Structure 1
Amino acid sequence: MKKIVRLISAVICFFQLNVQAEEPKEYTFAINSAVTPLLHAAFINETIKTVERSVAPAKLKVLYVELPELERLIENHQTDFFISTAATIRRYQDLGARDVLTASSPFSKNPNRSEGSLFIVKEGRSDINSISDLKDKRAAAGRPTAFGMYLAAMGEIAADGYDPKTFFKSTQFYGLNRDQIIKDVLDGKADVGILRACYLEDAVNRKVVTTDQLKFINLKNDPEHICLHSTRLYPNWSFGSNPSVPPAVLSAVAAGLIAQKPVGIGLYWSVASDFTAIDNLLKSLQLGSYQRFSKEWFWQRIIEYRFWVLGTLAAFALLLIHSFIVSRTVNIRTQELKESLKRESQSFHEAQEAHRRLMKMQRAAVVGQISSLIAHELNQPLAGIKLYARTLQRAKDSGTLTEDKLGTALAEIRTDADLAAAIVERVRSYAKGARSERVSSEVSELVNKAVREFKRQSGERVEVKLTQAQPVHVIVNPLEFELVIINLLRNAAQALQELGVSNPKVDLTIRRSDNSAMITIEDNGHIEKETIAKLSEPTNSTKADGLGLGLQIVRSIIENHGGKISFSQATSGGLRVEIRLPVQEETK
């Protein structure tokens, strides 16, 4: 397998050599000077040689820098390659930094779980036994942005529900002088020290301290990691790159490092597959890309660019002064306009009040119109009730009253009474200004019901023929719609009777035209065009008794449903009434 990797690396290097032969370049390789002792010096030296071979014939400039300088180089794209903690690289990923490979060591079997922190206190501190006991204590650590020597520990504190910024009473940072952290804890200058995982073992090996001098807080048990640690484990130190590196060069470097044999204590480069833990830690601590969009970062930028900010504010202040002067001038010159608008507003309110009074009068007029219709509509059900009551009385007097006759008569009386009650309730709703309840209805069902009711009420021998091309649904109040059809049928029947038509007939047609339901009512009588014109006038009646006023109510009901009604002469010479109603929108 390694032979195949070396072969691929050689091929990539060959093409890279051809590219660089045309345009030689120098690459910068910055290494965090805190890399040892976790990563052995021999491993770092071998890594430098591998990178040099991979970028040849271009030169490689190697820099050992402390963490603050490395962060500056990465942020400003002044280094092409770098070795640092995985957290440092992830902090700048939104600026183009990429973690290419991760170091694997014998201390941890999983490169995804290698880095962490260790809390140490002096042996004998019985008052400190958990993370909560560290609250308001004095701490000693590496750097504010050092991962193992500080940030991983702060992540553990945040995970326990504390604010890392205010958790410790004070924190002393020692940079690369990490042994001083241990010394401060032993001397009592610090209550707690924060060390990178595996640094304690190195210090014990160098005889800086013995384990019986210290006490360890919040120890974690992880069979894949042999070093003492108090926090979650994160990916190991990594090899990263900036966008300045061409893809071919980066591929050659990555292939060379993967093919590099284990060095020293068994260190080698591999691929880490899970940086979720680091990303979550950076989010909880508001670092990296999360810090760059935080309030703290905002105020830092304000201070950094204070002269530009002050200049902008001064220009804005001048603009405000200018705006104030202009506004004052405009206010003086528009005073008359404001007074005019005030008068216009008063006129508007007066118009609204007049409109309200007009609507009230209009409602009263409509109620009056409906009252006229009621006198007409209630006549039939009341007459039916009287008829059946008189029939029952006669049957009783004659001794011919049976249970069947009684049940039939009572059912008819109940039907007429229900119809009369519904008509009265509808008028009461109009008088109160209530909106009629409307439901989805199939037109032919309502028309058939109205025809049956018309025949039951009138008893007139008029043939009513219903034709429907296809089912059509509308949103209407069923009672109002039925009253419309009954009223129009009754008008047609009365007109045919007055004309003495020998074979009175009314044709009802239902069809759909675009987005409208068309209901057409034609009779086979005869009507003059002048009479048709009068029917379109809301206050005119064609009958001496005034029952033609029902057409105005019909028109009002249809228009309230968003429809239209029109009158014309049929081809047979009779009256043709056409009703248009919007069809119900189909739900998909």
Structure 2
Amino acid sequence: MDDSAETVRIGVLAFRGAETTVSEWSPMLDRLSRSRADRRFELLKLDHDGLRSAVADRRVDFVITNPGHYVELEAEFGISRILTLAGSSTVSPDQAIGSAVVVRRDRTDLQSLEDLRGKSLAIVGREGFGGFQIVWGELSSRGIDPDRDLSALRSVGLPMDGVLDAVERADVDAGVVRACLLESMGSRSANFRVLSPQTPSAFPCTTSTRLYPDWPMAALRHTSPALAREVAIALLSATEGTGPGWSVPADYQSVHELFRTLEIGPYTYLREPTLTDLAERYWPWLLGVLALMASGALYTVHVEHLVHKRTAALRAALAERETLEAGIRAAQEQADHLSRLSMLGELSGTLAHELNQPLATIGNYAASLSRRVDNGRLDDDAVRQATHEITCEAERAAAILSRIRAFARKRTAKRERFRPAQVAAEAIALFRGMLAQAPRVELIDHLAEDRTVEADPLQIQQVLLNLLKNAYDASRDQPAERRALQLGMTAVADGICLWVRDNGPGLDEAARRHLFEPFFTTKPDGLGLGLSICKTIAEAHGGRLTATPPETGPGMIFTLTLPDHA
């Protein structure tokens, strides 16, 4: 790693301790480091207060925390979620977190949440989402106030395993842990039972509560949108076995509703002051009330009037906000619909453009057979060669259709290790076979003989063919000595470069700025899709495609850079 590389800090809520946190999130850091070698990704393992302090001091660029803590940080510091954890293919990220209230297996007197009245309960802390707040909501729905109706509410802090220790030692009657923690404890789980057990559909663990969205990853206000997008793309494209899975951001409205019901977090302002609160806040005035009862009574009436007026105003503002949120959701659904329609149009254009080359080659070979028949020069070898090439091009067209179909189904291209020199040679052979008077193509290979790269060879060949065809179109009106093309291969620090050079008139700076945009073309009959598709293929492999004028001489150099993948 370059010492000058920019450090990107990710703060994580370490609810099971630092060692477990490092083990759980290290694969994600490795994935990010491989996707962006020019950045150093660092993990900060923090508790609730430490994570809030890091966000306030801008010591982190991203945070990964539980949904409740995220909602609080979102309201206080304006952080915004970019991804949501997707624990497995069978569990929806929208229904992934619950809480389990556990007791010792020998406590037969405790069977349901209602049995907790008058009992002691261990929690990680009041700020714990899966460690208290979800259960608080369930108890509240059953008319149980944890502060009033339990004999004790004991906070043991992080890691959450401390709750199980307190229950096992009989320090408390019951404890609250995140759902699935008990199942991950191995044989130790046999010492406990879950109160009011539920097994929701497709959820692999026993829970005492309803389910909420999984943990989000959020960017801070000072985090650049470009960095947030790069991180999101790298994690969304991660394959199985490279750490926790991720999905697009989930809807956290259910968390807001829970907090609104409990009047905590961003909704603390909904709590109406009690007489005790008023006494603690206005004790100097209350002393005056004792001396001046009549004046004190008038003052109390005035205060109550202001409180009710303010509460009514807040409720009206809340109703207006919910109306605006409903409008935003409707607009987002419409935008999603238009985006899907646009994608269908783009796929149609892409298919037509990519199939043009193999179909043109098939037509050329068929026409060549007809000319040989007319000239009486048709022999078995010529028929065999032509039919072989036609078969190859038909298979190539079928592969293009298969790849388009795989893209539409959100499937990743097949990657394998191959020698770039072999793919480059095949691309040159196919290119020259497409043209009746093909120009000379010089292959310049500066790679070691055994050098390989991990990518989709068919897609890389597609990019090289497109670049060769563009180079030919740019130089075919030039004198014969300037029609020759070059295809080179060079090793760089973090991968390899494949480049194609022509000796045409080149492109001005204005054209180069728009060169890779869809539907931009300098050709009278061009669609403007070829280079846009090539750029998409390069970025899908973690590489890039650039166009630069040569240091000496005419023409342009198009360079495809591919990284090394471990």
TM-score range, shorter chain: 0.3 to 0.5
From the CA coordinates, give the structure whose radius of gyration is larger.
1
Q: TM-score, normalised by structure 2?
A: 0.44
